[in-house]
């Protein structure tokens, strides 16, 4: 039982600290779980893998959960995934049921989080065992599938695909590494940058730049307006009772399952999960007319789904090495930092780490529930912390994260600036950040799998004929693209019909 020796008091303290900081990040509108993980990453540089994971997973669970606080109290989603929590949470607050709404959401979050942890525990090793049999061809097709799924859920399919391809392009800058069978030659960069970009752009400065500085530049452009909130007051209303969950088991389970499933799809994000589960609840509700007017079942559907994401997004990350969302994309960087290669072999070769992760996820959910359930009145005050104090601190931590990642390389700090500005300009022209990031993370692997497959087999047809799995993956790729084309065409027709053009 080596796992017991890894679970020190420090491990549990770090989970608790991570959850608390994550909740604070999630509760502040405009800050996300991704930002929490990115900004706190430098703290893991001095920790071993077990303790580092404890902190990061605590941040992840806390960050996703904290979003319900401003969603319910201020009608502002703290994170994108809590958008549907505003639909019923805020009307409940207006009726004087703010505390009841918060506690309902917190309890639903706990259920969703534990449900997804269970699915993660059961499903990730099975998927990893299956994925061990994959050759380079199937691995390349999985990456292609991941990119098409993300792109198909973008606002515009073509722009999503373009963003993903652009991410791949950026990932190819540098040397075609000899250690992966390359010829050691440089490409896609001018001669004078060879010293800096020999190994390409480092992943974490890119992520920190896009999610940290990029977000702050967007806010600066809008004038860093404070929300008109000086204090949060809980009106006197009906006290919270668990009886609100009576008859909601199906809702809880269905929403948790939707969140977990959507989390498994690479890059889809929490908003899709909560919107989908909220819509389903509306379809199946006995009183659908009450949803949107302060019905607890709406808060339950939304919150169970967005915490269901946490375990779901870790499934492709741990079993295939493909991040399920932008937060788990940052986690990939943290694993790489600790010398751990994620993929089908990860669980089998790092059984103790896997068990530790499961303990951390479950414990983080319990801590999240305990902290938020019993201290919600105090945590709610976080939404009033002014941005003019927060953003400079976040930028400072971004710099530490970027500088220290390769033990003191100033070029990584400039990378942060380059990609921060790039993300800010990119969102103006409609660039989709999620496909870009996934393309950037998986681009190098995609090249190796594609080129080595062709070098071995000498024909493109091998990608279609290698195995039944390859054919199955092509089927999934076609379905995801067809779904998106159908969706886009329908939306365009509706728009044209509506405008009378």
Partner 1 sequence: MNQESDPFSIAIDFPQSHLFFPNIVHWVLLILALSIALVHGREIIHHVQGWAESYREHGLDYDRLRLFGTLGLVIAYFLLMNWVGQLFPNTGMGFLLVSMPFMALLSLLYVHDINRKKVLIILANAIIAPFMAWYVLAQLFFITLP
Give CA 200 to chain center in angstroms.
24
CB 5 to partner 1: min, Å: 23
User: Applying CB under 8 A, which part among 7-15, 93-101, 162-170, 327-335 lies near partner 1?
Assistant: 162-170
Of residues 339, 408, 497, 500, which one binds partner 1 by CB under 8 A? 408
Q: Which of residues 74-133 bind partner 1 (CB under 8 A)?
A: none
Angle at the Cα of 131 (from 6 to 318), degrees rounded to 5?
A: 35
Q: Which of residues 193-232 bind partner 1 (CB under 8 A)?
A: 213, 216-217, 220-226
CB 229 to partner 1: min, Å: 14
Distance in angstroms (rounded) separating the CA atoms of residues 417 and 326? 19
Distance in angstroms (rounded) separating the CA atoms of residues 223 and 30? 14
- Would you say 22 or 420 has its CB closer to partner 1? 420
Q: In this structure, what token pair is assigned to residue 394?
A: 């976040």
Distance in angstroms (rounded) separating the CA atoms of residues 339 and 345? 14
337 lines the binding site for partner 1 (CB under 8 A): no
Of residues 172, 345, 418, 479, which one binds partner 1 by CB under 8 A? 172
Of residues 80, 182, 237, 292, which one binds partner 1 by CB under 8 A? 182
Residue with tokens 């999985």: 142
Angle at the Cα of 225 (from 212 to 36), degrees rounded to 5?
A: 25
Q: Show Cβ contacts of residue 236 under 8 Å, excluding neighbours closer than 6 positions.
A: 96
What phi and psi values does residue 280 have, to the nearest 5 degrees? -65, -40
185 lines the binding site for partner 1 (CB under 8 A): yes
450 lines the binding site for partner 1 (CB under 8 A): yes
Q: 238: left (phi > 0), else alpha (psi -120 to 50), else beta?
A: beta
What phi and psi values does residue 452 have, to the nearest 5 degrees? -65, -35
Q: In this structure, what token pair is assigned to residue 453?
A: 């497959």
User: Applying CB under 8 A, which part among 164-172, 252-260, 267-275, 337-345 lies near partner 1?
Assistant: 164-172
Of residues 111, 162, 211, 240, which one binds partner 1 by CB under 8 A? 162
**C-alpha distances in Å from residue 85, one per residue of 62, 80, 257, 278, 316:** 16, 10, 17, 9, 26
User: Applying CB under 8 A, which part among 10-18, 305-313, 414-422, 468-476 lies near partner 1?
Assistant: 414-422
338 lines the binding site for partner 1 (CB under 8 A): no
- Would you say 366 or 400 has its CB closer to partner 1? 400
CB 473 to partner 1: min, Å: 18
User: Applying CB under 8 A, which part among 57-65, 238-246, 353-361, 397-405 lies near partner 1?
Assistant: 397-405
Radius of gyration of the chain (CA): 22
User: Applying CB under 8 A, which part among 97-105, 259-267, 311-319, 403-411 lies near partner 1?
Assistant: 403-411
How many C-beta atoms surround the C-beta of residue 265 within 10 A? 22
Of residues 395, 469, 476, 479, which one binds partner 1 by CB under 8 A? 395
CB 343 to partner 1: min, Å: 20
Contact 334, 46 (CB under 8 A): no
CB 349 to partner 1: min, Å: 28
Distance in angstroms (rounded) separating the CA atoms of residues 309 and 373? 20
- Would you say 172 or 340 has its CB closer to partner 1? 172
Size of the site for partner 1 (CB under 8 A): 64
**C-alpha distances in Å from residue 203, one per residue of 79, 402, 437:** 23, 10, 9
User: Applying CB under 8 A, which part among 117-125, 251-259, 267-275, 451-459 lies near partner 1?
Assistant: 451-459
CB 414 to partner 1: min, Å: 7
Distance in angstroms (rounded) separating the CA atoms of residues 198 and 187? 9
159 lines the binding site for partner 1 (CB under 8 A): yes
414 lines the binding site for partner 1 (CB under 8 A): yes
Contact 51, 93 (CB under 8 A): no
| Residues near partner 1 (CB under 8 A) | 42-43, 45-47, 156, 158-159, 161-162, 165-166, 168-169, 172, 175-176, 182-183, 185-188, 213, 216-217, 220-226, 386-389, 391-393, 395-397, 399-400, 403-404, 407-408, 410, 413-414, 417, 421, 446-447, 450-451, 454-455, 458-461
């Amino acid at each position: 039982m080596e796992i017991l020796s890894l679970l020190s008091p420090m491990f549990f303290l770090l989970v608790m600290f991570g959850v608390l900081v994550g909740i604070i990040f999630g509760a502040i509108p405009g800050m996300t779980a991704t930002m929490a993980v990115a900004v706190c990453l430098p703290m893991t540089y001095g920790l071993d893998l077990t303790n580092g994971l404890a902190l990061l997973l605590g941040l992840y669970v806390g960050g996703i959960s904290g979003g319900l606080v401003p969603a319910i109290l201020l009608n502002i989603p703290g994170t994108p995934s809590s958008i549907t929590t505003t639909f019923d949470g805020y009307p409940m607050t207006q009726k004087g049921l703010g505390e009841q709404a918060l506690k309902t959401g917190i309890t639903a979050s706990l259920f969703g989080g534990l449900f997804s942890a269970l699915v993660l525990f059961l499903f990730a090793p099975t998927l990893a065992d299956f994925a061990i049999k994959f050759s380079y061809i199937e691995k390349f097709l999985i990456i292609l599938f991941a990119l098409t799924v993300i792109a198909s859920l973008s606002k515009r399919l073509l722009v999503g695909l373009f963003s993903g391809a652009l991410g791949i392009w950026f990932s190819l800058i540098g040397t075609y590494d000899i250690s992966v069978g390359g010829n050691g030659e440089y490409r896609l960069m001018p001669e004078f940058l060879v010293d800096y970009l020999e190994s390409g752009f480092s992943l974490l400065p890119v992520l920190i730049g896009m999610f940290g500085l990029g977000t702050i530049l967007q806010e600066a452009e809008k004038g860093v307006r404070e929300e008109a909130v000086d204090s949060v007051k809980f009106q006197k209303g009906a006290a919270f009772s668990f009886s609100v969950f009576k008859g909601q088991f199906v809702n809880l389970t269905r929403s948790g399952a939707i969140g977990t499933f959507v989390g498994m799809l690479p890059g889809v994000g929490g908003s899709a999960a909560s919107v989908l589960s909220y819509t389903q609840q509306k379809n199946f509700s006995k009183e659908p007319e009450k949803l949107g007017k302060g019905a607890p079942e709406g808060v339950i559907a939304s919150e169970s789904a967005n915490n269901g994401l946490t375990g779901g997004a870790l499934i492709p990350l741990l079993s295939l090495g493909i991040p399920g969302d932008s937060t788990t994309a940052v986690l990939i960087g943290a694993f790489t930092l600790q010398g751990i290669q994620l993929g089908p072999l990860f669980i089998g070769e790092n059984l103790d780490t896997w068990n530790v992760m499961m303990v951390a996820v479950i414990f983080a959910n319990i801590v999240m529930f305990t902290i938020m359930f019993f201290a919600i009145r105090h945590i709610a005050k976080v939404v009033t912390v002014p941005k003019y104090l927060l953003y400079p601190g976040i930028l400072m931590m971004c710099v530490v994260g970027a500088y220290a990642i390769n033990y003191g390389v100033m070029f990584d700090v400039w990378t942060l600036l380059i990609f921060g500005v790039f993300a800010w300009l990119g969102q103006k022209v409609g660039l989709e950040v999620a496909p870009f990031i996934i393309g950037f993370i998986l681009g190098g692997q995609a090249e190796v799998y594609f080129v080595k497959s062709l070098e071995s087999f000498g024909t493109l047809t091998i990608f279609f004929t290698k195995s039944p799995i390859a054919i199955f993956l092509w089927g999934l790729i076609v379905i995801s693209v067809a779904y998106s084309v159908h969706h886009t065409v329908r939306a365009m027709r509706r728009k044209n019909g509506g405008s009378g053009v």
